[in-house]
A and B are shown apart, each in its own frame.
Chain A
Amino acid sequence: MQVNENKEFRPKIVAFCCNWCSYAGADLAGTNRLNYPVDVKIIRVPCSCRVNPMFILRAFQRGADGVIMCGCHPGDCHYTSGNYFARRRMTLLFSMLDFMGIERERTRVEWVSAAEGAKFAATMNEFVETVTKLGENKRLEDLRCKKQ
């Protein structure tokens, strides 16, 4: 039997990674030859605090099926307190997305340091698996941005 690989669902994942930790963590995962899915598209931000809630919604609008934000562990922020503010902001935003009925597994925050290449790869593998199970993002999509 021939399997048509194109029909298999591959999610689009956007990962916002802090320049000072997770982005370097992703680098480390690469130099350590650790595998994580190509579905993850990394966007580098100067700090997790830079992530405006609109970025996350915009990612969903443009077709993302899951959005993950990675920042420095609380206490380790390069700018002292950025991730503390980001933490409050994202907690409220995710709670609101859940309140609106958007599947709660589509959004996630993980703290990954520059030394945690293995954690980065493991997190991404797990997140992609979760989102693949959920399937295509239907609840927060913009039909005008879909390819016909």
Chain B
Amino acid sequence: MQEAVIKRAKELLADGTVNRIVGWKSGEFAYDTTPAVFTSAEEIDAGFIYNDFCAPNLSKYLIKESRKEGKLLVFLKPCDTYSFNQLIKEHRIIRDNVYIIAVPCRGKVDIDTVKATGIKGIIGMESDGETVTVKTLYGDTSIPKSETHGDKCKTCKSKKHVIYDEIIGEDGEVNDDGARFELVEKLEMMTADERYDFWRGELSKCIRCNACRNVCPACSCENCVFDNPDSGIAQRAATDSFEENMFHLIRSFHVAGRCTDCGECTRVCPQNIPLHLINRKYIKDINEFYGDYQAGSDLETRAPLNAYTFDDCEPNIVYKRGGNE
């Protein structure tokens, strides 16, 4: 896969279709990939990678990058194309300046999931698409790749690209079996006390690093409420339980109806808070109350919070619904 991607990137760069490439390069460790811009064939040879560790969503980088001179080439995984569509819908990306090559994705390796299996002293990792070989200080271990997926990839919503100029490999299918809402449903069935304890346990780990906001493709406001010193929740130090709750409630509410469920918030969270569950709860509610809606799946549909019907359900539906008091 990587060879095919690099070959096509070099061709497009050589014939002048594009003057720069947004892709991934290896970070400090092989499994620790980072988005990067490449402008020459030499740079591509030196660092470009596309493998099972390239989880970062490149769409958000195009907000700034597509405003620069000339056309750029970007590689988008199925998840990323949803974010890309959503950003076009919000007039954040200049479509004409972007040449998209769709690259297939069969789930990405999640380092936190690997660590959770109890493997210690990781110094490197390799994947051949089926098995992941983990190099540790105590020797090599192999685990099947399907066991290294985070919750996001385990319950993948779609392997189909919704927008691209050309595609490498074969397009996949949308997966709408609802498996991604299983954890949300489990929480809904708990009592209010249990839910409160669960979220307090998770959110109290928050260190207010704002990584979830910064990485989120839907969070593209130039002036963010959390940067406003008058908002009361701008400070990062000395947070208390209210502020952690408020930050996550407001952050998720601001992307409700626009969140494509790309799972980047959970991936980047240094404290491993399952933030995508909050977003998925909104998606699930919107699907139930206002009909199925997938943000970013097309360019026409109105976002559910920008629309209404005369016979929407009343807010007290929340009190009447299942689950425990």
Chain A residues within 8 Å of B, Cβ to Cβ = 53-54, 57-58, 60-61, 74-75, 81, 84-85, 87-105, 108-109, 139-144
Contact = CB atoms under 8 A, between A and B. Distances in A.
A53 B253 contact: yes
* Interface size classification for chain B: 35 or more
Contact of A87 (B200, B282, B315): B315
Describe B's contact surface by its main secondary structure: helix
A100 B310 contact: no
7 contacts: A84-B312, A85-B308, A88-B289, A88-B312, A91-B315, A108-B315, A144-B240
A90 B315 contact: yes
Contacts of B231: 54
A103 B281 contact: no
Contacts of B245: 100, 140
B232 A102 contact: no
B242 interface: yes
Contacts of B316: 108-109
A2 to B, nearest CB: 36
B86 to A, nearest CB: 18
Contact of B289 (A91, A97, A142): A91
A101 B253 contact: no
Contact of A92 (B199, B253, B310): B253
Interface string B239-275: 0111101100110110010000000000000000000
Interface of B: 187-188, 192-200, 225, 231-232, 240-243, 245-246, 249-250, 252-253, 256, 278, 281-282, 285-286, 289-290, 304-305, 308-310, 312-319, 323, 325
A57 B249 contact: yes
Given A91-B315, A92-B286, A84 B305 contact: no
B196 A139 contact: yes
A92 B325 CA distance: 18
Describe A's contact surface by its main secondary structure: helix
Given A75-B310, A88-B308, A144-B240, A96 B253 contact: yes
A95 B252 CA distance: 13
B313 A91 contact: yes
Given A88-B308, A101-B199, A54 B250 contact: yes
B193 to A, nearest CB: 7
Contacts of B318: 91, 94-95, 98, 104
A85 B188 contact: no
A104 B315 contact: no
A87 B312 contact: yes
B278 A96 contact: yes
A96 B252 contact: yes
Given A85-B308, A88-B308, A53 B249 contact: yes
Contacts of A94: 315, 318
Contacts of A88: 289-290, 304-305, 308, 312
B192 A101 contact: yes
Given A84-B312, A87-B314, 20 more contacts: A53-B250, A53-B253, A57-B246, A74-B310, A88-B304, A88-B305, A91-B313, A91-B314, A91-B315, A91-B317, A92-B253, A92-B305, A99-B278, A101-B192, A102-B196, A103-B192, A104-B319, A109-B314, A109-B316, A143-B242
B197 A141 contact: no
Q: Which of A60, A98, A99, A139 has the most CB of B within 10 A?
A: A99
Contacts of A143: 240-242
A89 B305 contact: yes
Contacts of B278: 96, 99
A74 B308 CA distance: 11
B304 to A, nearest CB: 7
Contacts of A98: 192, 318, 323
A91 B282 CA distance: 10
Contact of A96 (B196, B249, B325): B249
A143 B192 CA distance: 22
Nearest to B286: A92
A142 B238 CA distance: 12
B322 to A, nearest CB: 11
